[in-house]
Amino acid sequence: QVQLVESGGGLVQPGGSLRLSCAASGISFSRYVMGWYRQAPGKQRELVARITPSGNTNYSDSVKGRFTISRDNAKNTVYLQMNSLKPEDTAVYYCKANNVGNYWGQGTQVTVSS
């Protein structure tokens, strides 16, 4: 049974930082492209960042230079370090594993507000 469990969301002031984690089980983690997506109220889910098995990364223009995606294959975990957070970063953040199949986590809420 595949499970992706996100954690680390919460309420933060503008300019603050959060680190999201996504722990995977039931898959050969090191073989999967791992991604972080987000969905704000009334908007479509969008890609935030992605990391390949070899460690290549890409980011949406809206987070480039502020967010960093990384992975620890020994821990079957992918991370999203979010710095200089803005109110427009407020959303539910989802982890996705992609290889032959696609798997999603349940999401974690990030709220950026003063």
Q: Residue 51: is its pLDDT beyond 90?
A: yes
Q: How far apart are CA 4 and CA 96, in angstroms?
A: 8
* Segment 68-80, tens digit of pLDDT: 999 999 999 999 9
Q: Residue 39: is its pLDDT beyond 90?
A: yes
Please name the amino acid found at residue 40: A
* Cβ-Cβ contacts under 8 Å for 46 (sequence gap 6 or more): 37, 38, 39, 60
Instruction: Give the pLDDT of residue 100.
Output: 83
Residue found under tokens 């230079």: 65
Q: Residue 43: is its pLDDT beyond 90?
A: yes
Q: Of all residues in the chain, what percent carry a pLDDT higher than 70?
A: 100
Q: How far apart are CA 50 and CA 110, in angstroms?
A: 18
pLDDT, mean over the chain? 97
